[in-house]
Amino acid sequence: MPRFWGKLVRIKDALEKAVNTIKLDVNIVEESIWHATGLILARDLYSPMDLPRFNRSAVDGYAVRSIDVAGASPTNPVVLKCKGIIETGDPPDKYGIISPGEAIEVLTGSPIPPGADAVVMYEDTVRKEDEIHILRPVSPWTNITRQGEDIGKNQLMFRKGTILKPWHLALASAVGLSKLPVYERVQVGVVSIGSELVEPGKPLYGGKIYLSTDVMVKQLIEQLGFTTTKYYGIVPDDLDRVSKAISKALAENHIVVTIGGTSVSDKDLIPMLVERRGKWIIRGIALRPGRTTGVAVIDKKPLFTLSGNPIAAWVGFEAFMKPLLHLWLGAQPEPYPAIRARLSRRIVNPVGYRSYVRVLVRKEYNTYYVEPYRVKGSSIISSLARTHGFIVVEEDLEGIEAGEEVEVFLLNPSNIV
Amino acid sequence: MPRFWGKLVRIKDALEKAVNTIKLDVNIVEESIWHATGLILARDLYSPMDLPRFNRSAVDGYAVRSIDVAGASPTNPVVLKCKGIIETGDPPDKYGIISPGEAIEVLTGSPIPPGADAVVMYEDTVRKEDEIHILRPVSPWTNITRQGEDIGKNQLMFRKGTILKPWHLALASAVGLSKLPVYERVQVGVVSIGSELVEPGKPLYGGKIYLSTDVMVKQLIEQLGFTTTKYYGIVPDDLDRVSKAISKALAENHIVVTIGGTSVSDKDLIPMLVERRGKWIIRGIALRPGRTTGVAVIDKKPLFTLSGNPIAAWVGFEAFMKPLLHLWLGAQPEPYPAIRARLSRRIVNPVGYRSYVRVLVRKEYNTYYVEPYRVKGSSIISSLARTHGFIVVEEDLEGIEAGEEVEVFLLNPSNIV
């Protein structure tokens, strides 16, 4: 147990407590349907109109009165007089009402003229100039998409909390909405802590190392789609300087995340800083790796604490920060692509921890086999970049036996051969 | 068969022909590791250095000579003299070489001092001022991450064609690379065709309808992560105006996609335009819906033709345009999140077509059941926005029987209850 950390809580309890204790203060804004993919709907959305707005042909053919063609057959066709063509975009009453014995040519998407109640497809007709020979009967409403069939006026389209996809925006546009009420992008300040860190591109000396976790975490956050990030650079292990950097980041963002400064050395500043300036809500989670993951409140805003260790930070983000950002806005995180695979070697789990095990997958005769990737500690970055995915082992399990089928969440599916 | 279209080809053949016939002309650029997520690596990438650059402690404890502590036990501890602490970022030779009988305190990530070959964890020691009582032996290299263990100098990191994820960029940063060679963002011009279309927010009249497919396609393209789009507005059904709009879009982008103008009416301009100005490579694909999907070459650039119908356009994008954009750059598309589910109603497939069937999923006692969503035609936009996902039925199948287990690709997983 790291010396600065409290009793580790289970991830489920950590999420529940954090979502109930901390409120994320973001505004509701109107965003254009052209730029709203990935944003989260802030109110239930109802359709302002019927879609389609009029009865519409679902095929190319002739709009008819179904009663007129009830007895039609190839040997005994019904002959109708064609009044013209209604193209898509034309008004439905271009030729007035269809009277008995009349037909009007329509295309897929054309409005159905008043009086008509069905469309006969080209294939079931023979045209001789203005005479249309109908070869088959049609029942009422055949080949017609009825007014409001896609969505009706005042009908619920999407619930608050929906993560908007391109097809949601297509439907919103189709009912005439040019903007939607969404939560503004969540601004996240990212602060790197560690005197040992150097930005890539600069020379290394002594025991210094290049940044890595920070580069990943910043882009993991941006990939959520409803966030923006601002990077505050590397802050050395100095309590005052860390405190100042966090103050600035908190003032300029909705949320701040610190990377590093959380482990057991006397130099680890985040626990000291939180005790001085704010309040822990979650101080350590039973994650393996990732137990120094936490969230505090300073200056009334959430401060996430992620490990400087890349794998522990990734687990802290995946297991805690990502779902929490969704939950605060009433949304559900998207599932990872996953496959089912047979475990080829036993995994041991320390009961009480949820473990994230990086794995390699191989395919043999249409069966996937999966085995843990052998690494020391959780500092090996290539274990995320060069494996295929990961398995989650829940807290109550002592492990998973070889031969069992498990779900593998795919990090780098294209590496699988 | 739409009258302007040729013999429909199978999707596999269409992709193979298009990737072999058309070359996408994009530049290789150097992109910052802070902004490269989603971009495609343009060259094989080798590590310029060992990672870690030095032997590194994997735990907090004392660096020792393993030979010194070979006989240590709790009842008979080996006593070493502690020379000081090497913190992360300190040079490994801060206290020179470790001599017999000496130890140096180290933290997780600290360099190992010369002469030491193992680290004893705090838990296995008792400290009395400068005397460290070692309670257990350690074998050589215990608790040390060795130089180059994460990745070695000149070792292959990632292959050309890798879609860069945040963890790839973390590893690149860790070995000191601040920029990576990637393909520049593919610029895609989007042209809407149809006199019946009106932008949302403006009033509708007659048989006019609001844009929808276009809003979706533009954002589907942007979601790829390695693209940008430029929208050219609504062009009415007029051959000259469509031709001019496409010329402008082709001049300003790597690729152009037209939406609409592909179905059977005399007004359908794209087939006429391609025959006049360029050459079809793929003219119609055996997709259901989506058979008017194609790609031509005009002014030496690819022109994709998608249906104006939202579902057909979505299938054309998913089945053809998206994989082709990846294949041109040597990358593999990411898989959709998917679940296995039991089909509760038979699906019929016209042999020779690959069908995309939108479905509803429900969960009963840990089993997922799936059934096709009943819609007329492929113009019902809510069938993408309000269903849960889709099933792909391959060309050789006459259908899938009720009771069979199928893979459901998830469009809106959070809708599932």
SS3 A135: coil
Q: Are B9 and B293 in contact (CB under 8 A)?
A: no
> Residue A325 contacts by C-beta under 8 Å, 6 or more apart in sequence?
A24, A186, A224, A226, A227, A255
Q: With 70 as the cut, is the pLDDT of residue A140 above it?
A: yes
Chain B residue at shortest CA distance from A177: B200
Predicted pLDDT at A365: 87
pLDDT tens figures, B98-141: 999 999 999 989 999 999 999 999 999 999 999 999 999 999 99
Residues in B closer than 8 angstroms to A88, CB to CB, are: 194-196, 207, 209, 265
Calculate the CA B261 to chain-centre distance: 31
Nearest-CA neighbor of A317 among A189, A185, A221?
A221
A150, A205, A327, A415, best to mutate vs chain B, most B CBs in 10 Å: A150
pLDDT class of B67 with cuts at 50, 70, 90: very high
- Tell me the residues of chain B between 260 and 319 that have a Cβ less than 8 Å away from chain A: 263-265, 267, 309-310, 314
Give the Å distances, CA to CA, from B179 to A9, A138, B31, B225, B412.
Answer: 40, 65, 5, 18, 36
The arithmetic mean of pLDDT across residues B309-338, rounded, is 95
B23 CA: distance to closest CA in chain A (Å): 22
Pairwise CB contact (< 8 Å): B91 & A206: yes
Within A254-300, residue ranges assigned H as helices are 269-277
Across the interface, of B177, B337, B384, the residue whose CB is closest to A336 is B337
Identify the sign of the CA torsion B372, B378, B379, B385.
positive
A230 CA: distance to closest CA in chain B (Å): 11
pTM for the whole structure:
0.95
Predicted pLDDT at B265: 57
Nearest-CA neighbor of A209 among B225, B280, B226, B176?
B176
B63 CA: distance to closest CA in chain A (Å): 15
Q: With 80 as the cut, is the pLDDT of residue A52 above it?
A: yes
In the block, residue with structure tokens 């969440």? A409
Pairwise CB contact (< 8 Å): A87 & B56: no
Residues in B closer than 8 angstroms to A228, CB to CB, are: none
Predicted pLDDT at A6: 63
A282 CA: distance to closest CA in chain B (Å): 23
- Tell me the residues of chain A between 209 and 228 that have a Cβ less than 8 Å away from chain B: 209-213, 215-220, 222-223
Predicted pLDDT at B393: 97
Predicted pLDDT at A253: 98
Q: With 50 as the cut, is the pLDDT of residue A1 above it?
A: no
* Per-residue tokens: B227: 């693209």
* N-term to C-term CA, chain A: 40
* Per-residue tokens: B280: 């079809």
Chain B residue at shortest CA distance from A170: B212
Nearest-CA neighbor of A31 among A41, A17, A44?
A41
Residues in B closer than 8 angstroms to A156, CB to CB, are: none
pLDDT tens figures, B195-229: 999 999 999 998 999 999 999 999 999 999 999 99
Predicted pLDDT at A2: 47
SS3 A323: helix
Residues in A closer than 8 angstroms to B220, CB to CB, are: 166
Q: Does residue A242 sit at the B interface (CB-CB below 8 Å)?
A: no
Give the Å distances, CA to CA, from A204 to A144, A193, A194, A198, B75.
Answer: 71, 17, 14, 7, 44
Out of A231-240, A262-271, B205-214, which region has the weakest mean confidence (pLDDT)?
A: A262-271
Residue B7 one-letter amino acid: K
H or E segment at A380?
none
The arithmetic mean of pLDDT across residues B404-408, rounded, is 95
B60, B144, B216, best to mutate vs chain A, most A CBs in 10 Å: B216
Q: With 90 as the cut, is the pLDDT of residue A267 above it?
A: no
A187 CA: distance to closest CA in chain B (Å): 17
pLDDT tens figures, A307-365: 999 999 999 999 999 999 999 999 998 888 899 999 999 999 999 999 999 999 999 98
A412 CA: distance to closest CA in chain B (Å): 8
Instruction: Quote the percentage of chain B above a pLDDT of 70.
Output: 96
Q: Does residue A158 sit at the B interface (CB-CB below 8 Å)?
A: yes
Nearest-CA neighbor of B115 among B106, B107, B126?
B106
> Residue A184 contacts by C-beta under 8 Å, 6 or more apart in sequence?
A26, A27, A28, A29
Q: Does residue A52 sit at the B interface (CB-CB below 8 Å)?
A: yes
Strand partners, B64: B118
Out of A236-240, A263-267, A282-286, which region has the weakest mean confidence (pLDDT)?
A: A263-267
Across the interface, of A88, A158, A200, the residue whose CB is closest to B196 is A88
Pairwise CB contact (< 8 Å): A215 & B332: no
Q: Does residue B334 sit at the A interface (CB-CB below 8 Å)?
A: yes
B88, B192, B217, B292, best to mutate vs chain A, most A CBs in 10 Å: B88
Across the interface, of B88, B145, B337, the residue whose CB is closest to A338 is B337
Predicted pLDDT at A85: 95
Nearest-CA neighbor of A217 among A184, A245, A252, A193?
A193
Pairwise CB contact (< 8 Å): A309 & B108: yes
A185 CA: distance to closest CA in chain B (Å): 17
Q: With 60 as the cut, is the pLDDT of residue A39 above it?
A: yes
* Per-residue tokens: A346: 């036993």
B33, B85, B150, B163, best to mutate vs chain A, most A CBs in 10 Å: B150
DSSP state of B326: H
Q: Does residue B204 sit at the A interface (CB-CB below 8 Å)?
A: yes
Cα A325 to Cα A335: distance, rounded to the nearest angstrom: 15
A376 CA: distance to closest CA in chain B (Å): 7
